[in-house]
Protein backbone atom coordinates (compact mmCIF):
# COMPACT_ATOMS: atom_id res chain seq x y z
CA UNK A 1 0.00 0.00 0.00
CA UNK A 2 2.80 2.42 0.87
CA UNK A 3 4.39 1.85 -2.56
CA UNK A 4 1.11 2.69 -4.28
CA UNK A 5 0.77 5.85 -2.21
CA UNK A 6 4.31 6.80 -3.15
CA UNK A 7 3.41 6.46 -6.85
CA UNK A 8 -0.06 8.02 -6.99
CA UNK A 9 -0.12 10.73 -4.33
CA UNK A 10 2.78 12.90 -5.60
CA UNK A 11 1.17 13.15 -9.04
CA UNK A 12 -2.24 14.11 -7.69
CA UNK A 13 -0.80 16.39 -5.00
CA UNK A 14 0.76 18.51 -7.76
CA UNK A 15 -2.58 18.58 -9.60
CA UNK A 16 -4.34 19.37 -6.31
CA UNK A 17 -1.94 22.22 -5.58
CA UNK A 18 -2.83 23.87 -8.87
CA UNK A 19 -6.54 23.36 -8.19
CA UNK A 20 -6.33 24.71 -4.62
CA UNK A 21 -4.30 27.81 -5.48
CA UNK A 22 -6.72 28.83 -8.24
CA UNK A 23 -9.71 28.04 -6.00
CA UNK A 24 -8.32 30.29 -3.27
CA UNK A 25 -7.57 33.05 -5.76
CA UNK A 26 -3.81 32.92 -5.11
CA UNK A 27 -3.06 32.00 -8.73
CA UNK A 28 -4.87 33.74 -11.57
CA UNK A 29 -6.66 32.18 -14.53
CA UNK A 30 -4.37 34.09 -16.88
CA UNK A 31 -1.30 32.64 -15.14
CA UNK A 32 -2.76 29.12 -15.51
CA UNK A 33 -3.44 29.77 -19.19
CA UNK A 34 0.17 30.91 -19.59
CA UNK A 35 1.51 27.76 -17.94
CA UNK A 36 -0.76 25.53 -20.00
CA UNK A 37 0.24 27.34 -23.19
CA UNK A 38 3.93 26.95 -22.29
CA UNK A 39 3.61 23.23 -21.64
CA UNK A 40 1.26 22.36 -24.52
CA UNK A 41 2.96 24.42 -27.23
CA UNK A 42 6.60 24.32 -26.12
CA UNK A 43 7.75 22.16 -23.18
CA UNK A 44 5.83 18.95 -23.94
CA UNK A 45 6.54 19.16 -27.71
CA UNK A 46 10.24 19.50 -26.73
CA UNK A 47 9.90 16.43 -24.48
CA UNK A 48 8.29 14.44 -27.29
CA UNK A 49 10.85 15.67 -29.81
CA UNK A 50 13.73 14.57 -27.54
CA UNK A 51 12.12 11.22 -26.78
CA UNK A 52 11.41 10.38 -30.43
CA UNK A 53 14.77 11.74 -31.62
CA UNK A 54 16.67 9.37 -29.29
CA UNK A 55 14.24 6.42 -29.36
CA UNK A 56 15.55 3.10 -30.68
CA UNK A 57 12.84 2.73 -33.33
CA UNK A 58 13.59 -0.90 -34.05
CA UNK A 59 13.29 -1.92 -30.41
CA UNK A 60 10.82 0.72 -29.22
CA UNK A 61 8.11 0.63 -31.87
CA UNK A 62 6.91 -2.88 -31.04
CA UNK A 63 3.98 -3.56 -33.40
CA UNK A 64 2.27 -5.79 -30.82
CA UNK A 65 2.48 -3.05 -28.22
CA UNK A 66 0.92 -0.55 -30.61
CA UNK A 67 -1.70 -3.04 -31.79
CA UNK A 68 -2.69 -3.82 -28.19
CA UNK A 69 -2.99 -0.19 -27.13
CA UNK A 70 -4.65 1.22 -30.24
CA UNK A 71 -7.11 -1.65 -30.59
CA UNK A 72 -8.35 -0.50 -27.19
CA UNK A 73 -8.37 3.16 -28.23
CA UNK A 74 -10.26 2.55 -31.46
CA UNK A 75 -12.78 0.26 -29.79
CA UNK A 76 -13.46 2.83 -27.07
CA UNK A 77 -14.00 5.57 -29.68
CA UNK A 78 -16.56 3.38 -31.44
CA UNK A 79 -18.30 2.51 -28.15
CA UNK A 80 -18.46 6.16 -27.08
CA UNK A 81 -19.64 7.35 -30.49
CA UNK A 82 -22.38 4.74 -30.87
CA UNK A 83 -23.55 5.03 -27.26
CA UNK A 84 -23.81 8.82 -27.54
CA UNK A 85 -25.73 8.56 -30.80
CA UNK A 86 -28.05 5.59 -30.21
CA UNK A 87 -28.31 5.29 -26.42
CA UNK A 88 -28.24 8.97 -25.44
CA UNK A 89 -29.75 10.34 -28.69
CA UNK A 90 -27.12 13.03 -29.31
CA UNK A 91 -26.58 14.31 -32.85
CA UNK A 92 -23.64 12.98 -34.85
CA UNK A 93 -21.34 15.95 -34.19
CA UNK A 94 -21.85 15.67 -30.42
CA UNK A 95 -21.41 11.90 -30.68
CA UNK A 96 -18.00 12.31 -32.34
CA UNK A 97 -16.83 14.72 -29.62
CA UNK A 98 -18.03 12.31 -26.92
CA UNK A 99 -16.35 9.40 -28.70
CA UNK A 100 -13.14 11.45 -28.72
CA UNK A 101 -13.39 11.73 -24.92
CA UNK A 102 -13.36 7.92 -24.75
CA UNK A 103 -10.49 7.74 -27.26
CA UNK A 104 -7.91 10.23 -25.95
CA UNK A 105 -6.26 8.99 -22.75
CA UNK A 106 -3.99 11.40 -20.87
CA UNK A 107 -0.87 9.62 -22.07
CA UNK A 108 1.60 12.43 -21.36
CA UNK A 109 0.65 14.44 -18.26
CA UNK A 110 -0.66 11.42 -16.32
CA UNK A 111 0.62 8.38 -18.26
CA UNK A 112 4.29 9.38 -18.32
CA UNK A 113 4.22 10.78 -14.78
CA UNK A 114 2.50 7.71 -13.32
CA UNK A 115 4.73 5.19 -15.11
CA UNK A 116 7.89 7.05 -14.12
CA UNK A 117 6.78 7.18 -10.49
CA UNK A 118 5.86 3.48 -10.50
CA UNK A 119 8.70 1.91 -12.48
CA UNK A 120 11.41 4.56 -12.97
CA UNK A 121 12.57 6.76 -15.84
CA UNK A 122 14.12 3.78 -17.64
CA UNK A 123 10.65 2.19 -18.00
CA UNK A 124 9.32 4.90 -20.34
CA UNK A 125 10.49 3.54 -23.70
CA UNK A 126 7.16 1.79 -24.36
CA UNK A 127 5.31 4.93 -23.22
CA UNK A 128 7.19 7.02 -25.75
CA UNK A 129 6.36 4.51 -28.49
CA UNK A 130 2.66 4.88 -27.61
CA UNK A 131 2.93 8.67 -27.39
CA UNK A 132 4.65 8.82 -30.79
CA UNK A 133 1.42 7.75 -32.46
CA UNK A 134 -1.08 8.98 -29.89
CA UNK A 135 -1.84 12.50 -31.12
CA UNK A 136 -1.65 11.59 -34.83
CA UNK A 137 -3.85 8.52 -34.31
CA UNK A 138 -6.44 10.18 -32.08
CA UNK A 139 -6.64 13.47 -33.92
CA UNK A 140 -6.64 11.60 -37.22
CA UNK A 141 -9.69 9.57 -36.16
CA UNK A 142 -11.46 12.45 -34.40
CA UNK A 143 -10.94 15.10 -37.06
CA UNK A 144 -11.73 12.68 -39.90
CA UNK A 145 -14.95 11.54 -38.23
CA UNK A 146 -16.01 15.11 -37.43
CA UNK A 147 -15.23 16.42 -40.91
CA UNK A 148 -17.08 13.49 -42.48
CA UNK A 149 -20.26 14.09 -40.45
CA UNK A 150 -20.02 17.85 -41.06
CA UNK A 151 -19.29 17.46 -44.76
CA UNK A 152 -22.74 16.36 -45.83
CA UNK A 153 -22.91 17.64 -49.38
CA UNK A 154 -19.22 18.66 -49.42
CA UNK A 155 -16.95 16.91 -51.95
CA UNK A 156 -15.21 13.96 -50.31
CA UNK A 157 -11.89 15.06 -51.80
CA UNK A 158 -11.83 18.13 -49.55
CA UNK A 159 -11.85 16.10 -46.32
CA UNK A 160 -8.20 14.80 -46.33
CA UNK A 161 -6.84 18.32 -46.74
CA UNK A 162 -8.88 19.58 -43.79
CA UNK A 163 -7.67 16.69 -41.65
CA UNK A 164 -3.99 17.26 -42.46
CA UNK A 165 -4.21 21.02 -41.93
CA UNK A 166 -5.87 20.54 -38.54
CA UNK A 167 -3.35 17.90 -37.43
CA UNK A 168 -0.23 19.82 -38.40
CA UNK A 169 -1.35 22.95 -36.58
CA UNK A 170 -1.04 20.87 -33.38
CA UNK A 171 2.28 21.50 -31.57
CA UNK A 172 2.39 17.95 -30.16
CA UNK A 173 2.14 16.44 -33.65
CA UNK A 174 4.84 18.84 -34.89
CA UNK A 175 7.18 17.85 -32.03
CA UNK A 176 6.61 14.15 -32.73
CA UNK A 177 7.12 14.57 -36.48
CA UNK A 178 10.36 16.53 -36.03
CA UNK A 179 11.68 13.99 -33.54
CA UNK A 180 11.01 11.10 -35.91
CA UNK A 181 12.56 13.05 -38.82
CA UNK A 182 15.74 13.78 -36.83
CA UNK A 183 15.89 10.14 -35.71
CA UNK A 184 15.55 8.73 -39.21
CA UNK A 185 18.04 11.25 -40.64
CA UNK A 186 20.57 10.54 -37.88
CA UNK A 187 20.87 14.23 -37.02
CA UNK A 188 23.21 15.13 -34.13
CA UNK A 189 22.88 18.40 -32.22
CA UNK A 190 25.55 20.34 -30.28
CA UNK A 191 25.78 19.66 -26.55
CA UNK A 192 24.75 23.19 -25.50
CA UNK A 193 21.56 22.78 -27.51
CA UNK A 194 20.69 19.40 -25.98
CA UNK A 195 21.52 20.71 -22.48
CA UNK A 196 19.14 23.64 -23.00
CA UNK A 197 16.53 21.25 -24.37
CA UNK A 198 16.88 19.05 -21.29
CA UNK A 199 16.39 22.06 -19.01
CA UNK A 200 13.07 22.81 -20.70
CA UNK A 201 12.04 19.15 -20.64
CA UNK A 202 12.58 18.87 -16.87
CA UNK A 203 9.87 21.50 -16.39
CA UNK A 204 7.33 19.88 -18.71
CA UNK A 205 5.52 17.30 -16.57
CA UNK A 206 5.42 19.03 -13.16
CA UNK A 207 4.34 22.36 -14.68
CA UNK A 208 1.76 20.60 -16.87
CA UNK A 209 0.31 18.75 -13.88
CA UNK A 210 0.10 21.97 -11.83
CA UNK A 211 -1.54 23.84 -14.72
CA UNK A 212 -3.92 20.94 -15.28
CA UNK A 213 -5.11 21.34 -11.68
CA UNK A 214 -5.77 25.02 -12.29
CA UNK A 215 -7.67 24.33 -15.49
CA UNK A 216 -9.78 21.62 -13.86
CA UNK A 217 -11.05 24.13 -11.28
CA UNK A 218 -13.02 25.81 -14.07
CA UNK A 219 -14.79 22.62 -15.07
CA UNK A 220 -17.88 22.31 -12.95
CA UNK A 221 -19.57 18.88 -13.11
CA UNK A 222 -22.32 19.84 -15.54
CA UNK A 223 -24.05 18.17 -18.45
CA UNK A 224 -25.60 14.75 -18.81
CA UNK A 225 -24.52 12.69 -15.80
CA UNK A 226 -25.23 9.40 -17.56
CA UNK A 227 -22.98 10.30 -20.50
CA UNK A 228 -20.21 11.43 -18.14
CA UNK A 229 -20.50 8.13 -16.24
CA UNK A 230 -20.26 6.25 -19.54
CA UNK A 231 -17.13 8.16 -20.58
CA UNK A 232 -15.53 7.46 -17.19
CA UNK A 233 -16.36 3.74 -17.37
CA UNK A 234 -15.06 3.39 -20.93
CA UNK A 235 -11.87 5.37 -20.22
CA UNK A 236 -10.95 3.95 -16.83
CA UNK A 237 -12.20 0.36 -17.11
CA UNK A 238 -12.93 -0.75 -20.68
CA UNK A 239 -9.82 0.68 -22.34
CA UNK A 240 -7.24 -0.87 -19.95
CA UNK A 241 -9.22 -4.13 -19.90
CA UNK A 242 -9.02 -4.43 -23.69
CA UNK A 243 -5.30 -3.61 -23.62
CA UNK A 244 -4.77 -6.19 -20.85
CA UNK A 245 -6.43 -8.90 -22.97
CA UNK A 246 -4.62 -7.89 -26.16
CA UNK A 247 -1.28 -7.60 -24.36
CA UNK A 248 -1.74 -11.06 -22.88
CA UNK A 249 -2.68 -12.58 -26.24
CA UNK A 250 0.28 -10.94 -28.01
CA UNK A 251 2.67 -11.87 -25.16
CA UNK A 252 4.02 -8.39 -24.54
CA UNK A 253 7.08 -8.10 -22.34
CA UNK A 254 6.39 -7.16 -18.73
CA UNK A 255 7.65 -3.60 -19.22
CA UNK A 256 5.61 -2.97 -22.36
CA UNK A 257 2.54 -4.59 -20.79
CA UNK A 258 2.76 -2.32 -17.74
CA UNK A 259 3.18 0.82 -19.83
CA UNK A 260 0.33 -0.06 -22.19
CA UNK A 261 -2.21 -0.96 -19.50
CA UNK A 262 -1.32 1.92 -17.19
CA UNK A 263 -1.45 4.47 -20.02
CA UNK A 264 -4.82 3.08 -21.15
CA UNK A 265 -6.10 3.42 -17.57
CA UNK A 266 -5.55 7.20 -17.49
CA UNK A 267 -8.43 9.69 -17.55
CA UNK A 268 -9.28 11.60 -20.74
CA UNK A 269 -6.73 14.32 -21.44
CA UNK A 270 -7.27 18.07 -21.62
CA UNK A 271 -7.09 17.69 -25.41
CA UNK A 272 -10.58 16.17 -25.33
CA UNK A 273 -11.95 19.54 -24.22
CA UNK A 274 -9.71 21.31 -26.75
CA UNK A 275 -11.22 19.10 -29.48
CA UNK A 276 -14.80 19.69 -28.29
CA UNK A 277 -14.18 23.43 -28.03
CA UNK A 278 -12.58 23.53 -31.48
CA UNK A 279 -15.83 22.30 -33.01
CA UNK A 280 -18.20 23.82 -30.44
CA UNK A 281 -19.70 20.42 -29.63
CA UNK A 282 -20.38 18.63 -26.30
CA UNK A 283 -18.10 21.03 -24.44
CA UNK A 284 -19.81 20.64 -21.07
CA UNK A 285 -19.70 16.85 -21.34
CA UNK A 286 -16.01 16.93 -22.32
CA UNK A 287 -15.03 19.30 -19.51
CA UNK A 288 -17.03 17.44 -16.88
CA UNK A 289 -15.68 14.08 -18.08
CA UNK A 290 -12.07 15.28 -17.75
CA UNK A 291 -12.70 16.50 -14.21
CA UNK A 292 -14.75 13.50 -13.06
CA UNK A 293 -12.49 10.85 -14.59
CA UNK A 294 -9.33 12.52 -13.28
CA UNK A 295 -10.74 12.44 -9.73
CA UNK A 296 -11.91 8.83 -10.11
CA UNK A 297 -8.56 7.76 -11.56
CA UNK A 298 -6.96 8.23 -8.13
CA UNK A 299 -8.78 5.05 -7.10
CA UNK A 300 -8.78 3.17 -10.40
CA UNK A 301 -5.06 3.74 -11.01
CA UNK A 302 -4.43 2.27 -7.56
CA UNK A 303 -6.35 -0.87 -8.58
CA UNK A 304 -4.56 -1.25 -11.92
CA UNK A 305 -1.15 -0.75 -10.31
CA UNK A 306 -2.00 -3.43 -7.75
CA UNK A 307 -3.04 -5.86 -10.51
CA UNK A 308 -0.07 -5.30 -12.82
CA UNK A 309 2.84 -7.74 -12.62
Eight-class DSSP state of 85: I
Buried b (16+ CB within 10 A) or exposed e, 64-79: bbbbbbbbbbebbbeb
pLDDT of 155 reads: 61
pLDDT of 7 reads: 64
| Domain extent for 142 | 2-307
**CA proximity to 255, closest of 32, 64, 110:** 64
User: pTM score, two decimals?
Assistant: 0.80
**CA proximity to 234, closest of 93, 113, 83, 12:** 83
- CATH number for position 229: 1.20.1530.20
How confident is the prediction along the chain (309 residues), in pLDDT tens digits per residue? 555 566 677 877 888 898 899 998 899 888 988 888 888 888 888 988 887 788 776 666 789 999 999 999 999 999 999 999 999 999 999 999 999 999 999 887 788 888 888 888 888 888 988 988 887 788 888 888 887 887 765 565 666 776 677 667 778 778 888 888 898 888 888 889 889 999 998 888 888 888 878 877 877 666 678 999 999 999 999 999 999 999 999 999 999 999 999 999 999 987 787 788 778 888 888 888 888 888 898 889 889 988 998
Please name the residues in contact with 69: beta carbons below 8 A apart, sequence gap of 6 or more: 130, 243, 246, 260, 263, 264
Q: How many domains does the chain have?
A: 1
pLDDT of 185 reads: 86
Are 53 and 182 in contact by the 8 Å Cβ rule? The answer is yes
pLDDT of 295 reads: 84
Amino acid sequence: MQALLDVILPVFLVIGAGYALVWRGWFSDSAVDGLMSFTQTFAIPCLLFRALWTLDLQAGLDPWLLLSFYTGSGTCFAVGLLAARHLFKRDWEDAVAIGFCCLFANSVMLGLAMTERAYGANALEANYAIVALHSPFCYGIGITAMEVVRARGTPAGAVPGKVLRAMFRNALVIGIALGLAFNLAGVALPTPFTDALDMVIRTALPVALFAMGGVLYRYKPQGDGRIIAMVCAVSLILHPSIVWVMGTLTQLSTGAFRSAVLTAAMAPGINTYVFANMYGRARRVAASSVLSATILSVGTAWVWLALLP
